[in-house]
Amino acid sequence: MARTLARLTVLVALLAGSAAWAQFTPAPRISMTRQDDSWFVSGEAYRAVVAADGCLTNLAVNGTEFLAPGIGVSRGSYFYRNAPLRLPRVSRVPGNQIVAEGDQASIRYGFGLDRMTWTLTNRTDTKLNFYLVLDRSVRAGRNGQGQWARTPVNARWEHSVWYRDAAFLGVSGATSVWGPWGDGNQVVDVTLSPNEVRRVELTMGTANRDERATADEVARQPDSAAGGGIERDRDQGRRRDLTILSPRDLQVFQRQSRREGPMLISGRVSVEADTVEARIEGRSAGGPVSSRWFEVPFVPDTGAFNGTVTQPAGGWYRLQVRALRDGAVVAEGTVPRVGIGEVFVTAGQSNATNSGQFRTKQASGMVSSFSGSDWRIADDPQPGTHDNSEGGSPWPAFGDAMYKRFGVPIGIAATGHGGTSVNQWQPGEELFSWMMTRIYQLGPCGFRAVLWHQGESDVEMPSGEYAQKLEAVIESSKLAAGWEFPWFVAQVSYHSPQQPRFSNPREGQRLVLERRIALPGPDTDTLTGDHRDMDGEGIHFSPKGLKAHGEMWAKDVGDYLEAVLRR
């Protein structure tokens, strides 16, 4: 027996020192743990996070992060339609997979040791984009044919490999790659046709010595040398060295008089410079503006520039910013469209959001919407609403009518949520905070007024209680913001042709107006018949009704504004 045990001991020792022992070593495993509604996944080559909204927000390859959440609207990787889509139904399924689903899209994440398979599904009848926003430190990439380029790259690359430090990330199944976006980031774009299911493969690992050397060389080269024929902006290197944080494209600054208003020019320079200059080109409401260069306050030690300049009301203007060293331009950037005009925050329930029968569009080209991170032309659905509604709104028609009357760009910041009571807008509640975030972002004197359209949900609330609660919302918003701004309150209670008006909310709204807590908005209970959806039977508006609704707002707000501008 002792001799047998001795032989077994020798055998185990031999196996332990041989390659044969490897077959008895436990294979690496995928780790998947849930914490605070997010999934944390680890493979042999990566660590990833799938957030509660279904977006894979972080992807670190061998400890090096490749995605850039939090840049503008970026969620790292996400479906996008006017705003990142939430996929709130997130669950783990067998086979090291996580499924995230929403009404418009879904994604199935399959996790391997050094690779992932993402199955993207577009559940809509229109095209849908899926983006991967890469970290700004990803400086070089190559396509499936081995063609290298310095980021940002603009090309139709289906397969790409991106390099950062000693790590790489490969992506197959894309439509194109483009940039710069956000803070100079590279974007990998997967465009899905209506109802398409697309498979995207990701591979991850450590770059070999030759790949690292090539990536470093390409990242150091000027664009013309690195691009290898890729479609590029010849000035891209200069632009990446100068970041403009304000203004954003299509941003509207609130004018402070009929003739002029302030514009904040702010950003940073990442190369050595001693001066920053800017100039504005275009046509104001009164004629062409001076296109001379003027100096912007600049701190060379930090690379930061910040300055507020007064400009004539009007636009769109084109802003150019350049950094100089010893009189030579070393970096520059451009904002194509920026205006000095009128800005409005909108709040309330569904008829203040995107709940109309069909989406509408502004026709002037001079109305833009603020989502909380970016500005865009104000075609429906309006970004920034709390309910993420996707129908039509009155605000394109409102903006067009205001532009026609005043000749300056119009900005809209919509914050509403359908079906809500005034109770849900009280100070301390989520909707109040959502609205206040937009007010804080626009800043003191950064908008003209708040436009409130709400009451259909409160037909049973006593009028005195409604008035008291609406007053609390109004006064608390000014106290929190730290400055005085007007509110316009619409007369609204309509439910159907059989119930066209209710006295409780209307009387409550009237009390608020009578006490001069707010200014009168339109009486939209008068919009009946074919102004309403569902062949006149609905509570929301038809396209005809949306246009009339917006124009009614423009009439009331415009009359007030005319009086203010005459002072």
The Cα–Cα gap between 435 and 384 comes to 10
Of 99, 129, 128, the C-alpha closest to 111 is: 99
Provide the 10 A C-beta neighbour count for residue 452: 28
The CB density around residue 297, as the number of other CB atoms within 10 Å, is: 12
Question: For 203-221, what is each residue's pLDDT tens digit?
Answer: 999 999 999 999 999 988 7
Instruction: Please identify every stretch of the chain with a pLDDT value under 70, giving residue numbers as ranges.
Output: 1-28, 222-240
Cβ neighbours of residue 89 closer than 8 Å, sequence gap 6 or more: 54, 99, 100, 101, 102
Q: Residue 549 and residue 567: Cα distance in Å, rounded? A: 28
Domain regions of the chain by residue span: 31-239, 241-338, 339-566
CATH of 31-239, one of 2.60.120.10, 3.40.1710.10, 2.70.98.10, 2.60.40.10: 2.70.98.10
Of the candidates 370, 353, 350, 280, the one whose C-alpha atom is nearest the C-alpha of residue 316 is 280
Going by their DSSP bridges, the two strands 242-246 and 260-269 should be labelled as antiparallel
Assign domain 241-338 to its CATH architecture: Sandwich (2.60)
Read off φ and ψ for residue 161, nearest 5 degrees: -130, 130
What is the reported pLDDT for 35? 87
Residue 181: per-residue pLDDT: 77
The percent of residues in the chain predicted with pLDDT above 90, rounded, is: 80
Find residue 148's DSSP bridge partners: 142
Q: Could you tell me the pTM of the whole model?
A: 0.62
Radius of gyration of the chain (CA): 28
With CA atoms as reference, report the closest residue to 444 among 482, 412, 487: 482
The dihedrals phi and psi of 255, each to the nearest 5 degrees, come to -70, 155
What is the distance between the alpha carbons of residues 496 and 552, in angstroms, rounded to a whole number? 20
Instruction: Note the pLDDT of residue 240.
Output: 63
Contact present, 253 and 289 (Cβ < 8 Å): no
Residue 225 tokens, joined:
């040398």
The model's pLDDT over 219-267, given as tens digits with 9 standing for 90+, comes to 887 643 333 333 334 344 445 689 999 999 999 999 999 999 999 999 9
Helix (H) or strand (E) holding 71: none
In CATH, the number for domain 339-566 is 3.40.50.1110
User: Are 525 and 505 spatial neighbours (Cβ–Cβ below 8 Å)?
Assistant: no
Distances (CA, A) of 99 to 87, 207, 215: 9, 30, 35
Q: Give the residue carrying structure tokens 């619409």.
A: 490
Q: E-strand spans in 352-486?
A: 367-370, 375-377, 410-414, 449-453
